[in-house]
Structure formats: C-alpha cells, structure tokens
C-alpha cells in the first residue's frame, strides 16, 4: 500500500506538479501562446478543485494533463473583459 502524500501548502503542491504543468504548457503553447503555466494552475484551482476534498496526486496530475484548454481560454478572456469593464466604470465616475 502506498502512503498518502500530504502537502502543507498550495505552493508545495504546485512545486510537486509543476512538471505536469510544463508538459501541458508545451502541448498548448503553439496554438495558445498567451496561456501561461500560472493560468492553467489558477483555472484549475478556481474551477476544477474549488470544492474538492481529499484530492490525490494522481487525480491532480490527470486534471492538469486533460484540462480543456478552451475553458482556460474563456476564463482568461472573461477576466480581461471584467477588467476592461471595471476600467470603463471608473472612467465614467470621473466624468
């Protein structure tokens, strides 16, 4: 039986799975050159693992390698739209 691996922080987990993140990044980089490793990680943290409990390392790596890149793309573009809207709203307050 393999002992469960426990991580004390998200940074420790990130360091452990960074090789998988790099593989995914290299796989998608030619088509989506603006998506960074941190974008893949942040998307999964916010949408895939947000309410998850007792994740195992193999499932996390599997999620990284099989994440839908179109969803990451939409996540990034929606974030940009929100920032643009915030800026526009702030500009309107000045007028």
Where exactly are the structural domains of the chain? Answer: 10-94
pLDDT tens, residue by residue, 12-46: 999 999 999 999 999 999 999 999 999 999 999 99
Residues 6+ apart with CB under 8 A from 47: 71, 75
- Tokens read off for 69: 């890149």
Q: How confident is residue 9, by pLDDT bands cut at 50, 70 and 90?
A: confident
Q: How many CB atoms lie within 10 A of CB 43?
A: 22
Q: Are 67 and 39 in contact (CB under 8 A)?
A: no
pTM for this model (two decimals): 0.80
Query: What pLDDT score was predicted for residue 71?
Result: 97
């Amino acid at each position: 039986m393999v002992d469960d691996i426990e991580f004390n922080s998200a940074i420790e987990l990130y360091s452990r799975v960074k090789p998988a993140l790099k593989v995914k990044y290299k796989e998608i980089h030619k088509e989506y050159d603006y998506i960074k490793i941190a974008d893949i990680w942040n998307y999964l943290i916010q949408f895939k693992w947000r309410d998850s409990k007792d994740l195992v390392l193999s499932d996390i790596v599997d999620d990284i390698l099989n994440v839908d890149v179109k969803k990451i793309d939409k996540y990034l573009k929606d974030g940009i739209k929100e920032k643009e809207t915030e800026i526009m709203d702030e500009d309107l307050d000045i007028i």
